[in-house]
Structure 1
């Protein structure tokens, strides 16, 4: 297992609505604890209490086929594991999937750092994208 880093895409919006280049920001939640959402704190990818005004909640960036930036190249599985959840994996290593360190929902709290690990078909490896609206 290895931790990974992601830098938040910061932008300003005077009305308080958070938009990326291609539309509203998305919440990314884990099936093991869907009360938290993906965020970046101190250069670490963590789960955090959802807050649409938090500039460290993760935003999607547009894909540019002319520039290969592997740090943003992630994919989801085609298989739906129920309710729209699937795994998120690295494009250059599909054996590494986004995971919480524990599969016990009681240990998946605000601030828990996410890791990459081997796919085990566990609840703490299943993710879903939601819009804020």
Structure 2
């Protein structure tokens, strides 16, 4: 009978059942993150498409009307005006103009580059270049909102940050001894000096040029 007890190691076969849990643990969950990434990409493309259908505007300052605001190497700069260059085409989006106004009561707007889909963002401090931020029209972000002043003469206006009208969009330069405003001059904000490099025009391109963008 003792020998029979040695032949009853049936509990050992049960240990083979413990090999089955690894397949159960094999059920990993990397699928949900992949599914969530797909709609995000679709949304970005949709916003870019809506910008492409909007009329294009050109921005330039009184100091050099032959230069247009553009995006170059990740910076907002002035460049020789080329109407067919999509990087010189902007959208003036006034979606939040009825909800957001500056201290003087002027409505807010965003300036969005058609080629990149990025909006001009306030710089970290005065005299620093402005930044570029991916534009989400459904997100109210004051850091990309600007306002225009009353006319300063010859239909030029100051463009100010919505939350501080003392900070004006300016073509930054080191003075006329260093060439003044030129092709490649970066754009930032400074206190008002009444200089021609702080006086701006926003004008619409004709429809035929907009179709090229």
Larger helix proportion of the pair: 2
1:96 counterpart = 2:173:
no
CA distance in 1, matches of 2:93, 2:172: 29
Which residue of structure 1 aligns with residue 144 of structure 2? 72
TM-score normalized by the length of structure 2: 0.48
Deviation at 1:121, TM superposition (A): 1.2
Which residue of structure 2 aligns with residue 113 of structure 1? 186
Work out which structure has the larger RCO, using CA pairs closer than 8 Å and 6 or more positions apart in sequence: 1
Q: Which has the larger radius of gyration?
A: 2
Deviation at 1:58, TM superposition (A): 4.1
Deviation at 1:132, TM superposition (A): 2.4
Deviation at 1:10, TM superposition (A): 6.7
- Contact 2:71 2:87 survives alignment (8 Å): yes
CA distance in 2, matches of 1:46, 1:10: 22
Find the residue that maps to 2:88 and give its secondary structure: coil
Find the residue that maps to 1:56 and give its secondary structure: helix
Q: How many residues matched? A: 116
Find the residue that maps to 1:94 and give its secondary structure: strand
CA distance in 1, matches of 2:57, 2:167: 22
Deviation at 1:51, TM superposition (A): 1.4
Q: 1:112 to 1:90 in 2, by over 3 A?
A: same
Which residue of structure 2 aligns with residue 86 of structure 1? 157
User: Where does 1:1-133 land on structure 2 (aligned, <5 Å)?
Assistant: 20-23=52-55, 25-65=56-96, 67-78=139-150, 80-102=151-173, 104=176, 106-133=179-206
CA distance in 1, matches of 2:203, 2:48: 19
Backbone CA RMSD of aligned residues: 2.5
Larger strand proportion of the pair: 1
Gaps of 5+ in 2: 1-46, 97-137, 207-213
Gaps of 5+ in 1: 1-8, 12-18
